[in-house]
Amino acid sequence: MKTTTFALALILFAAVAHAADPVPGKPLDTTFLKQYAETRGFMLGRPVKPKIASDNKTVLFLRADPKTPKLKLFEFNVASGETKELLSPETLLKGAEENLSPEEKARRERQRVSVGGFTDYHLDRDSNRVLLALGGKLYVFNRVTAKTLELKTGTGVIVDPKWSPDGKKIAYVRGFDVYVYDLATEKESAVTTDGTATKTHGLAEFVAQEEMSRFSGYWWSPDSKHIAYEEADHTSVETWYVADPLKPDQKPSEQFYPRPGKKNVSVKLGIIPVTGGETVWVDWDAKEFEYLAAVRWDDLGPLTLQVQDRKQQKLSLLLVDSKTGKTKQLLQEKDTAWVNLNQDVPKFNGALGGFAWMGADPEGNAEIQIREWTTGKQQSVLVPAKNNPDSVLSLYSSRFETYLVYTASPDPTVTHVMRHQTRSLNVNPESDKDEFLTTEPGIHSGAFGKFGGPYAITSTTLKQMPKSTVFTLQGVKAGELPSLAAEPNFTPDVSVLKVGKGEDGYYCAVVRPRNFDPKKKYPVIVDVYGGPKHRHVVQAMRNWLVPQWLADQGFIVVAIENRGTPNRSREWEKSVYLKFGTVPLEDQVKGLELLCEKFPELDKDRVGIVGWSFGGYMAANGVLRKPDVFKAAVAGAPVTDWEDYDTHYTERYMGLLPESKLMYDQASLIPLAKDLKRPLLLVHGTADDNVYYRHTLKLSDALFRAGKDFEALALPGVTHMYSADPTVMERLWSKSAGFFKTHLGEPK
């Protein structure tokens, strides 16, 4: 069956390769798409990953050249405002090309990293030495002497390097075990042994990386004498394969892929001396709480775990006795739908006598609490839910006051960096001081040191691409981290607004062509994502560059945030629980109706829909369930059957099998194939190991057997990050525009 359906998709691909080309005589100008793709969305050349040195005098960051996707290391002097290059990949490789292992490629796929060079770096305790990985090797760069040391590690793939807190050793995972490198003796020693591909040591399992935002599987003790490590047992977990049809001589890559209702990875946490010895296994009820969601072992706090039950309706924060492995529950969060994860907490602070926690108020909305160190008892609310906090960036104390730096979204289209100042844990938060470190509407993030000092704010707005600015502790601008990036040759004509009333209203974006004629009616394209955890309608220029190009081809592009999207009330967010197939699409239709009522230039009888990943699911769902509304769809990498997606994401929102089987069936696109009445273009990368190509093949097969006309485009060797390939990015959007021109027509 797999061979038959795959052959079918390739035949369809060949048959429709030119079916949706632009109108003859009117070729699309793809110059912008080419530039966008080659510059990685105009991000090459911009500073990324700023980190504050412990001396509070310098800020380090990474930056590529404008047209070369390889990151170099730089430092910014806070006092002088000057920047200098510290190290480049070319210097270390001496002209050779960087070779990435399959394991490193997979890790970058999970982190959505599409560039090469130094993709990350790590500062030692004094920030004088920098640890970097490149081409499968590890290097230590000394900022004082400007010399680089290559570590003499053993053979095998090396991932996730980290300094010991005392700066004397470096740990990493090589193969499937944790190793430590002693810088004084320049020798490597194994900390764990007997790790295998099935039972790994020190590596985060697939769902931890893809869905929990936990990318590491081991943690140093504050005294540098022990390491806590994850043992992930994949026994009986399904093995899925990704083959490259263009290279039948090569073996498929293998991946353990847990699906709803199937066996999950069994995870344990052990604590072992770095000199080797017996492992002390951490004791918790793994039958009830099978997910190891988060681990923290900071220099200011004890070892803590966040563990979840499989339904993800209970999350427990556990305090670990690192000598015995015994655990004590500090708190537990519960919800009738699901509990959100936050990797930023707990954050401990000696001056507070406790830790900061992102918890839920009585209505289930997020607030930042202070809880007692050993009991977990709530002492106060530092940031109430009305501020809509969404992450904790820093917690530090001066002589008399404590500062909590966090991000918050006054409305879901923006994110601001805020600082809370308090003198006492027991003061009503209404009387404390919250200051906006950012004020202009946009998306802002921050990098802060452990103990105050200078900080860096990265900001983007509807009129400005991201820029990073360094400020002193007092908030005085020290300078900008210099950018070499090419700038777009236009500013998107985008309006962000809310339609509808009160809590039931929808945040939307409207992108008009730059030669917009108010006397005409325009075909409409709904640019959709619609899934939980992700905001689509945000006040960030980069998000609207490709939609602006698409609008310039003769459309008005709109985007609508449906129920289930984050940064609104808890009731809004969990409205999609068990209802993936209906609630998000109903809201897209309602929001579209309100936009068409408000803006007469939108032709409600000529509406297309386009999306990728969850957005691809939404696009296909739109033409299948609502053909009276959506007249054409381009669905990229769509999930077509939720029983074929991973456990942690799917079961969080859709429940467990078999008890939620009816909900899975109702959300599946496969039974709807017989109802297709509108043009549909399916696009999928054959090397996708997140949403497997199987999804598009299953829907293609169902459509074919139902006698339906549709189009399918296979992208050989392309992963879920299709935009990482400049040619694919350019051609795909050009083809999509041509498809919509064919089926929706021109402005009238």
Could you tell me the CATH number of the domain that includes residue 716?
3.40.50.1820
One domain, residues 557 and 638:
yes
Do the Cβ atoms of 748 and 521 come closer than 8 Å?
Answer: yes
One domain, residues 427 and 544:
no
> What tokens does 727 get?
């040619």
Nearest to 275 by CA among 216, 327, 223, 230: 223
Residue 647 CB-density burial (10 A; 0-12 exposed, 13-18 middle, 19+ buried): buried
One domain, residues 608 and 740:
yes
One domain, residues 448 and 491:
no
Of residues 698 and 348, more confidently modeled:
698
Contacts of residue 653, Cβ cutoff 8 Å, sequence gap at least 6: 338, 532, 564, 576, 577, 578, 580
Q: What is the DSSP letter of 686?
A: T
Q: Is 598 within a domain?
A: yes
Residue 138's H or E segment, with its range, is: strand 137-142
Is the pLDDT score of 432 beyond 80? no
Q: Is 643 within a domain?
A: yes
- Residue 134 gets the label, from left (phi > 0), alpha (psi -120 to 50) or beta, of beta
- Mean pLDDT across 532-558: 97
> What tokens does 509 get?
């974006």
What radius of gyration do the chain's Cα atoms show?
26
* 73-77, 374-378, 556-560: range with lowest mean pLDDT: 374-378
Last residue within a domain, chosen from 452, 479, 501: 452
* 37-51, 91-105, 570-584, 642-656: range with lowest mean pLDDT: 91-105
Contacts of residue 678, Cβ cutoff 8 Å, sequence gap at least 6: 623, 627, 630, 631, 632, 633, 743
pLDDT of residue 25: 46
- Mean pLDDT across 509-531: 97
Query: How far is it, in rounded angstroms, from Cα 347 to Cα 299?
Result: 11
CB atoms within 10 A of CB 103: 16
Counted domains in the chain: 2
**Cα angle 467-472-478, degrees, rounded to a multiple of 5:** 50
Bridge partner list, 524:
556, 607
Is the pLDDT score of 662 beyond 60? yes
pLDDT band at 24 (very low <50, low <70, confident <90, very high): very low
One domain, residues 541 and 646:
yes
One domain, residues 622 and 565:
yes
HSE of 113 in the Cβ direction (CA atoms, 13 Å)? 20
Length of the chain: 748
Averaged pLDDT score across all residues of the chain = 92
Q: Which residue has the tokens 């400020």?
A: 471
Bridge partner list, 329:
318
User: Per DSSP, which regions of 697-743 are E strands?
Assistant: 711-715
Q: Is 175 within a domain?
A: no
Max avg pLDDT among 98-112, 581-595, 719-733 = 581-595
Do the Cβ atoms of 470 and 446 come closer than 8 Å?
Answer: no
pLDDT band at 111 (very low <50, low <70, confident <90, very high): low
pLDDT of residue 23: 45
Q: Is 476 within a domain?
A: no
User: Per DSSP, which regions of 630-701 are E strands?
Assistant: 632-636, 680-685
Amino acid identity of residue 86, one-letter, is L
Query: How far is it, in rounded angstroms, from Cα 313 to Cα 328?
Result: 20
One domain, residues 727 and 602:
yes
Do the Cβ atoms of 383 and 406 come closer than 8 Å?
Answer: yes
- Mean pLDDT across 234-239: 97
Residue 414 CB-density burial (10 A; 0-12 exposed, 13-18 middle, 19+ buried): buried
Query: How far is it, in rounded angstroms, from Cα 14 to Cα 336?
Result: 48
3-state SS class at 280: strand
Q: Which residue has the tokens 């993709």?
A: 119
Last residue within a domain, chosen from 432, 452, 472: 452
pLDDT of residue 10: 33
Strands 122-123 and 83-87: unpaired
Amino acid identity of residue 379, one-letter, is Q
Boundaries of domain holding 666? 2-39+487-744
pLDDT tens, residue by residue, 664-688: 999 999 999 999 999 999 999 999 9
Backbone angles phi, psi at 619, to 5 degrees: -65, -50
One domain, residues 529 and 640:
yes
> What tokens does 461 get?
């707005």
Q: Is 405 within a domain?
A: yes
Is the pLDDT score of 19 beyond 50? no
pLDDT of residue 353: 72
CB atoms within 10 A of CB 726: 17
One domain, residues 447 and 558:
no
Last residue within a domain, chosen from 400, 425, 452: 452
Is the pLDDT score of 595 beyond 90? yes
Query: How far is it, in rounded angstroms, from Cα 391 to Cα 7?
Result: 47
User: pLDDT > 90: what percent of the chain?
Assistant: 82
Q: Which residue has the tokens 């081991």?
A: 218
Do the Cβ atoms of 381 and 367 come closer than 8 Å?
Answer: yes
Q: Kindly tell me the sign of the dihedral angle through the C-alpha atoms of 680, 686, 691, 693.
A: positive
pLDDT of residue 80: 95
One domain, residues 437 and 514:
no
Q: Is 349 within a domain?
A: yes
Q: Is 140 within a domain?
A: no
Helix 2-16 to helix 694-705 angle, to the nearest 10 degrees? Answer: 80
Do the Cβ atoms of 255 and 242 come closer than 8 Å?
Answer: yes
Do the Cβ atoms of 466 and 459 come closer than 8 Å?
Answer: yes
Is the pLDDT score of 99 beyond 80? no
* DSSP codes joined into one string, 202-217: S---HHHHHHS----S
Q: Kindly tell me the sign of the dihedral angle through the C-alpha atoms of 639, 641, 647, 652.
A: positive
> What tokens does 541 get?
């220029």
Q: Is 372 within a domain?
A: yes
- Mean pLDDT across 458-474: 96
One domain, residues 514 and 441:
no
> What tokens does 212 get?
């929990």
One domain, residues 526 and 611:
yes
What spatial distance separates the first Cα and last Cα of the chain, rounded to whole Å? 46
